[in-house]
């Protein structure tokens, strides 16, 4: 089969076993370096994609995307206010809520908790938390039964299981001296919430009517939770909805409470891409050393080729192809290894955690307790393509130097 001269010679030189041993070592190290750099970058990007997915699918589907809380007095006639909010642009669902911060007491153990008193039928439109709950999810909460659904980490710390009773210590009305006396309510654990992260140690849910009776609010509520059409515009949508609200309210969105997680993921992604591309670039520039030494070794052959009619362009292309072999093979090998390992990264890390007996992501610190992964084809193509382009750039100077050799000077030595 006919092959163009540069392709034939470039592939021949790259496969030659008679080359200098040091050149072979540098050539192999460049291939391995490119492969490892590409693989590491693909694994890192897959992990960042996984963290972003879990942030959206777990945290942002459990916590409210927007919140409006009464500044002073509780909100009366909340069904009418709910309908008003639903009419605002960008607001897709609204749920009434009473927020209670207190201490759970079980025996000698105490644990702080953020209880959200909700109307189950409305909360289902706001949150997907019931997908991570035992039993019937939100519908385990019945008015008048003082049932509570607790995060699994809370239940484990207090030694509770479904059906157990737990005391709730919460502030009550002010006494004559201006001091708040703690009030104790007995609740029954009717379900557990297991998201797999920090929220399991913070959140709890109870029925709205039970909280109204406990806080003596009557039929009033303390605020609303909102679901919006665009999570990345949650703050502006919530602010705009509050402009048309008849009560003075505190305005919050997930960007205030969890936005740092998204910003951290994007920052780590950017830093990692820059650093790992620098690693790949260093590996690619080993190609420069390989080709420079290869050109010096083949000066006589280059001179003979030029006297036989090979053009400078053909000589340049020959050494570009020789150098590109390592770059392309390293990029493809790294892409293959990165793609395969990223598909099994989560179980591999879980197995490593069991083996060494150490958890890398503490659920009390991080919003999840496992290393997620999600490979995007665009990331794979971007990383492999960048490695190949850098390999090509690394071949240009040695190839230009080879094409500039003068046959008479070389053959006259």
Q: State pLDDT tens for residues 87-109.
A: 999 999 999 999 988 899 988 88
What confidence score (pLDDT) does residue 1 get? 41
Instruction: Record the pTM.
Output: 0.77
**In whole angstroms, what is the distance from residue 76 CA to residue 58 CA?**
32
Could you read off the pLDDT of 264-284 as tens digits, one per residue?
A: 888 888 888 888 888 888 888
In the chain, the largest separation of any two C-alpha atoms, in whole Å, equals 110
Nearest CA to 385 out of 268, 292, 314, 280 is that of 280
Given a cut of 80, whether residue 182 has pLDDT beyond it is no
The confidence band for 232, taking pLDDT boundaries of 50, 70 and 90, is: confident
> What average pLDDT does this structure show over 323-352?
89
> What average pLDDT does this structure show over 353-358?
84
Given a cut of 70, whether residue 145 has pLDDT beyond it is yes
**Paired tokens of 160:** 């509770």
Percent residues over pLDDT 70 in the chain: 90
Q: Do the bridges between strand 180-193 and strand 91-106 make them parallel or antiparallel, or are there none, so unpaired?
A: unpaired
Whether 119 contacts 79, CB under 8 Å = no
**In whole angstroms, what is the distance from residue 190 CA to residue 396 CA?**
70
Average pLDDT, the chain: 84
The confidence band for 39, taking pLDDT boundaries of 50, 70 and 90, is: very high
Nearest CA to 88 out of 68, 71, 69 is that of 68
Torsional sign, CA 88, 90, 96, 102? negative
Exposure string for 53-69, b = 16+ CB within 10 A, e = fewer: ebbeebbbbbbbbbbbb
């Amino acid at each position: 089969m006919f092959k163009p001269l540069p392709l034939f010679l470039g592939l021949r030189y790259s496969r030659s076993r008679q080359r200098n041993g040091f050149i072979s070592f540098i050539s192999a190290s460049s291939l391995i370096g490119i492969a490892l750099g590409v693989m590491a970058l693909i694994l890192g990007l897959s992990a960042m994609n996984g963290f972003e997915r879990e942030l959206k699918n777990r945290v942002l589907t459990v916590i409210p995307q927007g919140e409006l809380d009464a500044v002073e007095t509780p909100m009366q006639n909340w069904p009418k206010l709910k309908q008003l909010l639903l009419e605002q642009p960008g607001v897709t669902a609204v749920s009434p809520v009473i927020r209670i911060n207190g201490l759970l007491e079980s025996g000698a153990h105490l644990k702080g908790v953020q209880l959200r008193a909700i109307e189950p039928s409305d909360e289902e439109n706001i949150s997907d938390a019931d997908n991570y709950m035992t039993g019937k999810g939100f519908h385990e909460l019945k008015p008048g039964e003082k049932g509570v659904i607790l995060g699994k980490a809370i239940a484990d710390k207090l030694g509770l299981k479904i059906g157990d009773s737990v005391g709730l210590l919460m502030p009550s009305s002010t006494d004559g001296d201006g001091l708040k006396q703690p009030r104790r309510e007995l609740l029954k654990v009717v379900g557990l919430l297991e998201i797999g992260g920090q929220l399991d140690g913070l959140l709890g849910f109870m029925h709205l009517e039970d909280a109204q009776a406990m806080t003596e609010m009557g039929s009033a509520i303390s605020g609303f939770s909102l679901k919006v059409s665009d999570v990345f515009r949650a703050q502006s949508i919530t602010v705009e909805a509050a402009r048309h609200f008849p009560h003075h309210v505190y305005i919050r969105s997930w960007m205030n409470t969890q936005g740092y997680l998204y910003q951290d993921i994007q920052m780590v992604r950017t830093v990692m891409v820059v650093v790992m591309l620098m690693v790949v670039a260093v590996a690619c520039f080993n190609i420069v050393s390989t080709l420079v030494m290869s050109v010096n070794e083949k000066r006589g052959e280059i001179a003979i080729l030029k006297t036989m009619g090979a053009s400078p362009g053909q000589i340049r292309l020959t050494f570009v192809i020789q150098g590109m072999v390592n770059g392309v093979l390293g990029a493809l090998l790294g892409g293959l290894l990165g793609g395969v390992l990223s598909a099994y990264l989560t179980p591999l890390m879980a197995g490593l955690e069991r083996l060494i007996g150490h958890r890398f992501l503490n659920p009390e610190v991080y919003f999840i307790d496992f290393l997620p992964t999600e490979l995007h084809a665009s990331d794979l193509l971007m990383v492999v393509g960048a490695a190949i382009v850098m390999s090509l750039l690394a071949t240009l100077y040695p190839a230009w130097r080879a094409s500039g050799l003068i046959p008479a000077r070389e053959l006259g030595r």
